[in-house]
Amino acid sequence: MRAMNAPAPDLHLAPRSDWTRAQIAALFALPFPELMYRAQTVHRAHFDPREVQVSTLLSIKTGGCPEDCGYCSQSASHETGLKASKLMAVEAVLADARKAKEAGATRFCMGAAWRSPKDRDLDSVCAMVEGVKALGMETCVTLGMLTGPQALRLKQSGLDYYNHNIDTSPEYYGEVITTRTFQDRLDTLEQVRNAGINVCCGGIVGMGEAENDRVGMIHALATLPAHPESVPINALMAVKGTKLGESKPIDGIDFVRTIAVARITMPRSMVRLSAGRESMSAETQALCFLAGANSIFHGEKLLTTGNPAAEADRQLFTRLGLVPMPLETEGTAATHA
């Protein structure tokens, strides 16, 4: 029997991009206490386990998206009752960013329901990025697919992060989305990297995928040439009227396992406990933090779906002894004994 303070076998504390599917499947199959031990060991090697990075997400252009993503209420292919809106005015976005900062967020994320942005719309988004940066916050946008020149424009405006999720495994992807390919996702990530912007990229679980598809999703992320700086792990928020609107919720322990495996395979990334928190118990969220999640979205809405109220998050942090991560430590994986 291994001593309690002995290192776990085959535990890799430094980032690597040569993970095999078999190795990742073996992590998913570990007994839960062993998996949590390994995830905690990796997490503590790179981060203060008490600190959680806090972001706020705002939908700056809602609905009417031509993509057919099976989970999304904003797709024009779905009858969800959501009305499409135009791109928000720059000042209105900055007003929301100020409120987010006052509520404790250090990163402000802006999402637009586009397949890809038009250049005239990118002018306004760049102005938003510049305005949020002037408030002293980190910036993130998710706008769909990007060209190289568009990524460079966003970089020049001061953009810190670009979110573009792969959603699921390459094999299951076609069951969820048909209007763009998995390779299209990877191509945009490459444009973002080439422009020098940090990558925010994760996926969604609970979409009817098999466990092997969760293995495939983590494998695709952990074998990128450079790991995403932020890795959001979402639990499907089933929205009536979407293709996946009748999906059964993912088991809480299975969700925690996905968080833990993401932490082990991408040791220096921010692993975000993202969509789905509204329906999670405090105990499930606590297990996610123990499994290595160290980022959340703060605020009552994630684009168009609900999120725990700010006061509920403050109470949870107090109960667990967690504290918001200072801005100056974000993006750098600090070493802790």
AA letter at 30: L
User: Given 69, 126, 201, 288, which residue is catalytic?
Assistant: 69
Give the CA dihedral 203, 97, 52, 39, nearest 10 degrees.
10
Q: How far is Cα 178 from Cα 181, in angstroms, rounded to an integer?
A: 7
Q: How far is Cα 156 from Cα 129, in angstroms, rounded to an integer?
A: 10
First and final C-alpha spacing in the chain: 24
Q: How far is Cα 125 from Cα 244, in angstroms, rounded to an integer?
A: 30
Q: What SS3 state is found at 68?
A: coil
User: Given 107, 109, 180, 214, which residue is catalytic?
Assistant: 109
AA letter at 69: C
Q: In the chain, how many H helices and how many E strands?
A: 11, 12
User: Given 107, 180, 185, 272, which residue is catalytic?
Assistant: 272
69 is a catalytic site residue: yes
109 is a catalytic site residue: yes
126 is a catalytic site residue: no
User: DSSP secondary-structure letter at 300?
Assistant: S
User: Given 38, 72, 153, 257, which residue is catalytic?
Assistant: 72
201 is a catalytic site residue: no
Please spell the DSSP secondary structure of 306-322, one letter per residue. E---HHHHHHHHHHHT-
288 is a catalytic site residue: no
Q: What SS3 state is found at 97?
A: helix
User: Given 126, 140, 201, 288, which residue is catalytic?
Assistant: 140
Considering only CA atoms, give the Rg of the chain. Answer: 19
User: Given 38, 126, 200, 214, which residue is catalytic?
Assistant: 200
Give the residue from 288, 285, 269 showing the smallest Cα distance to 277: 285
Tokens 């306004």 correspond to what residue? 124
Tokens 């092997």 correspond to what residue? 212
Instruction: Identify the H or E element spanning 150.
Output: helix 148-156
AA letter at 198: N
Q: What SS3 state is found at 21?
A: helix
Would you name the residues annotated as active-site residues?
Answer: 65, 69, 72, 109, 140, 200, 272
